[in-house]
């Protein structure tokens, strides 16, 4: 086994042999110190500008802020390496090399933390795993600096097996997982950027924006996998080995998932339902608040959210109250006494719906004489509302209150059932023997 480069041991040996005051060593220390100062200066100067409310970098948030110092400092050390190399071409630049490794580790940790936070929407688990991943990255770079990492890599590469004509080792698998994970993170981050841009494109239909976002996400994931495999020396044609197994899986246990996925694209393409539509699916009614590749989120008017599989919308009847027109017709019934002026009642019903923002005035609300009951005249008023997704309860309550006030002001009687209870005191004879013979009820009171 060939000896590995141990930057720390070589740096310590170089200092012990030649001391700190050698000109090339002083130059390297100056470059490192200058890099730290410039990095910190850039950090404190740029941080307020990035965190401003109207900054174009605000969406990148803490990811860019954490990246400023190590990236600027690393750039300075790289430039310093070139300059010191011009003046001292034969000198080993080990001090700058160690600084480069440390700064590069900080850059990698900052980039990875930024990608994780933005891809997974600041999920609670990201903070915990971020620290663990940072510790692994520091460990890997520490092993690299002391020259142990290459030996570990050789040992992992010796453990191998063959898949067809392809040699696969443990090292290859780990490199493949790391490459696929990194490329997938980048792909998902790019899809988030595309989603953010598309959702701001108001000239496009909402469903079209969602569909384009899903297509871009799927394409980026496929491209990421195809790019990652050759990076570790795996022929992408090896995936054909798993094609048959995947086909069997789709034909058996995964066909429902595949059906939901395909149905999601069908829904987005034919625009049968869109974000914000008020729909009824079976006994569930609500507003579509989210469209995903596997299901839709149906938010009812009481705040309850139902996850409805996409294939349910394709294979069953969906009542879409917002398909061609978002307006919904509402008819509210009332009863009035026979002595009421019906023409005045009709005008008052229409007046009760005037001046309400949610009630459409073109076409205007219309009153109806529905029929004649046993003790009342049945009337109603019908009108269109422009925002059915906000519910009907509060609007009906307000109109009922207006009708009540208007009827009271104009003396319109609202009939209601009344039960009269007559209480009498039984005679002494009835109280003693319980005999009802000869009992006559009291005469009713005079009316009026």
Q: Which of 264, 290, 288 is nearest to 278 (CA)?
A: 288
- The pLDDT assigned to 317 comes to 86
Helix pair angle (243-251, 255-270), 10° resolution: 80
More confident residue, 12 or 153: 153
More confident residue, 262 or 423: 262
More confident residue, 322 or 190: 190
Contact at 8 Å (CB) between 333 and 378?
yes
Q: Which of 410, 412, 402, 301 is nearest to 356 (CA)?
A: 402
Q: Is the dihedral of CA 35, 41, 42, 47 positive or negative?
A: positive
Longest dimension (CA), the chain: 137
Domains of the chain, residue spans: 7-158, 266-320, 328-409
Q: Is the dihedral of CA 352, 355, 360, 363 positive or negative?
A: positive
- The pLDDT assigned to 386 comes to 84
* CA 312 – CA 296 distance, rounded (Å): 10
Q: Nearest 10 degrees: CA dihedral of 406, 412, 418, 420?
A: 120
Q: Which of 18, 43, 26, 41 is nearest to 80 (CA)?
A: 26
* CA 307 – CA 284 distance, rounded (Å): 11
Q: Is the dihedral of CA 13, 16, 22, 27 positive or negative?
A: positive
Contact at 8 Å (CB) between 379 and 370?
yes
Q: Give the tokens for residue 27.
A: 């130059």
Domain range 328-409, CATH architecture: 2-Layer Sandwich (3.30)
Question: Is residue 354 scored above 80 in pLDDT?
Answer: yes
What is 266-320's CATH number, 3.30.300.340, 2.30.30.60, 3.30.1650.10, 3.30.1180.20? 2.30.30.60
Average pLDDT rounded to a whole number, residues 143-168: 78
Question: Is residue 241 scored above 70 in pLDDT?
Answer: no
Q: Give the tokens for residue 191.
A: 């899809």
* pLDDT confidence band for 285 (50 / 70 / 90): confident
Tell me if domain 266-320 and domain 328-409 are identical in fold.
no
Question: Is residue 10 scored above 90 in pLDDT?
Answer: no
Model's pTM, two decimal places?
A: 0.53
Question: Is residue 448 scored above 50 in pLDDT?
Answer: no
Average pLDDT rounded to a whole number, residues 409-420: 82
More confident residue, 432 or 198: 198
* CA 296 – CA 317 distance, rounded (Å): 15
Residue in the structure block whose two tokens are 């995947």: 246
* CA 28 – CA 97 distance, rounded (Å): 10
pLDDT in tens, 36-81: 999 899 888 888 777 665 555 555 556 677 888 888 998 998 898 8
């Amino acid at each position: 086994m060939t000896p590995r480069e141990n930057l720390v041991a070589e740096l310590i040996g170089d200092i012990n042999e030649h001391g700190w005051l050698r000109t090339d060593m002083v130059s390297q220390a100056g470059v490192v110190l200058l890099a730290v100062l410039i990095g910190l200066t850039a950090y404190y100067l740029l941080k307020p500008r990035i965190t401003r409310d109207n900054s174009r970098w605000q969406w990148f948030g803490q990811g860019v802020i954490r990246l400023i110092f190590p990236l600027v400092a690393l750039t300075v050390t790289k430039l310093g390496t070139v300059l010191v190399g011009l003046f001292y071409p034969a000198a080993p630049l080990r001090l700058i090399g160690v600084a480069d490794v440390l700064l590069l580790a900080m850059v990698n940790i900052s980039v990875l933390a930024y990608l994780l936070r933005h891809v997974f929407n600041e999920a609670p688990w990201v903070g915990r795993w971020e620290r663990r991943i940072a510790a692994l990255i520091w460990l890997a770079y520490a092993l690299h600096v002391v020259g142990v990492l290459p030996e570990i890599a050789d040992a992992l590469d010796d453990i191998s097996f063959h898949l067809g004509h392809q040699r696969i080792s443990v090292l290859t698998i780990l490199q493949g997982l790391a490459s696929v994970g990194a490329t997938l993170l980048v792909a998902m981050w790019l899809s988030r950027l595309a989603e953010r841009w598309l959702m701001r494109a108001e000239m496009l239909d909402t469903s079209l924006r969602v569909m384009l976002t899903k297509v871009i996400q799927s394409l980026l994931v496929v491209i990421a996998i195809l790019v990652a495999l050759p990076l570790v020396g795996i022929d992408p044609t090896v995936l054909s080995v798993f094609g048959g197994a995947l086909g069997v899986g789709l034909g058996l246990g995964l066909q429902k998932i595949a059906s939901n996925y395909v149905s999601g694209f069908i829904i987005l393409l034919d625009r049968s339902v869109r974000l914000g539509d008020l729909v009824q699916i079976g006994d569930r009614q609500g507003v579509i608040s989210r469209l995903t590749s596997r299901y839709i989120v149906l938010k009812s008017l009481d705040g309850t959210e139902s996850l409805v599989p996409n294939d349910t919308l394709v294979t069953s009847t969906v009542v879409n109250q917002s398909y061609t027109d978002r307006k919904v017709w509402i008819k509210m019934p009332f009863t009035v006494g026979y002595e009421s002026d019906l023409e005045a009642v009709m005008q008052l019903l229409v007046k009760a719906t005037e001046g309400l923002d949610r009630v459409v005035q073109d076409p205007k609300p219309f009153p109806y004489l529905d029929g004649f009951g046993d003790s009342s005249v049945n009337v109603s008023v019908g009108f269109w509302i422009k925002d059915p997704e906000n519910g009907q309860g509060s609007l009906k309550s307000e109109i009922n209150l207006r009708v009540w006030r208007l009827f009271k002001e104009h003396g319109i009687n609202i009939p209601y059932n009344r039960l009269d209870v007559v209480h009498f005191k039984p005679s002494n004879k009835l109280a003693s023997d319980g005999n009802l013979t000869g009992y006559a009820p009291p005469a009713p009171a005079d009316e009026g």
